[in-house]
Structure 1
């Protein structure tokens, strides 16, 4: 009687490697969307650009537009943590200073900027962009509630999170749309892009901090 055989084949991917693949797919999708448009881009092309099959692409994402989500969701946790540790009496803009690198600009400022510009003309990408912010808002509300020691269900952190979230979205859109077709769009140094975006966000958050007057 022969001994039982061990399992063959590739070892399962780690969660870290899965995240890397998702991000690679996101970058490939944005590059293709920019160069040839969303309608002309297929899952096969996205997979080919990464070196995986279309079946693998669909295993990670339900649609080609949703492939860009990793570029948009990067930093949500950092932003929520920044809000949670925002010191009382300090300007709202300071809440994000320590997370400015990843949380404010995402993995690559140029890729995020190109993607946000596409949301003006591509309804599918616009829906993903807005959905991403919609899903991030409860995390911001929970962080603000914890910071203030408020109970679950309190309306105040929910309203604050909505204002904060809207300021983030509009600031990123303003920055992306106003740097289109300029040298500022693709600076030589990613740190420069992050600094410019951080400046726009500081202005937006200062307006939120001032309230409606």
Structure 2
């Protein structure tokens, strides 16, 4: 029996993804350092090494440009769950996938940029809206994955609640980490807080 081919992004697609992430990282750093009001789209484009019209091909607003950076961890987590056993994950598997997505993901520098961005959101409604939209989209995608894994006989309410609780646990953990100035590793780190939040909520039976 022949295996299905793995579709890999083309070189052009990879370059677009890299450019989009470079813009996101630059915007996040500038927002964290100066606040959104003091940063312009022109400044983000210039420091990212792209033309302004290129910037607007990737983001409609300066705030929206940070979305790829905010979504990267969730995308790793969702891909990990989707690639696991063809059944609903156990609480331990949910937790392990979340820890892997954090452990194998952002560099220490990116974590600090993310912390500053999350702190800046406290006084910036536009940035906060991007953060909540990113998390809601992750919740919807997790619900879709869980529905596929569970099959037609699964309780739809349980699936919705599981997706909401799991996604919410990670969001809350990262917000607490940013607000309390936790470390990058060990106690108070994103990994530590995600583990604690998910264990307390028991995201699955």
- Compute the TM-score of the two structures, normalised by the length of structure 2: 0.80
How far apart are the structure 2 equivalents of 1:104 and 1:47?
Answer: 22
| Aligned mate of 1:143, from 145, 150, 168 | 145
Give aligned pairs, total: 191
What is the SS of the residue equivalent to 1:120? Answer: helix
Q: Any conservation in 2 of the 1:83–1:95 contact (CA below 8 Å)?
A: yes
From the superposition, tell whether residues 65 and 210 of structure 1 become closer, same or farther in structure 2 (CA, over 3 Å): closer
1:36-80 superposed Cα distances (whole Å, 9 cap, x missing partner):
221121111111111112111111100000010111111333212
Is 1:72 the equivalent of 2:109? no
CA radius of gyration, larger in: 1
Q: Any conservation in 1 of the 2:23–2:55 contact (CA below 8 Å)?
A: yes
Q: Any conservation in 1 of the 2:32–2:119 contact (CA below 8 Å)?
A: no
| Aligned mate of 1:32, from 30, 33, 42 | 30
Aligned-residue offset at 1:24: 1.1
1:63 maps to 61
- Give the unaligned 5+ runs of structure 1: 1-12
RMSD: 3.1
Is 1:208 the equivalent of 2:183? no
How far apart are the structure 2 equivalents of 1:15 and 1:106?
Answer: 26
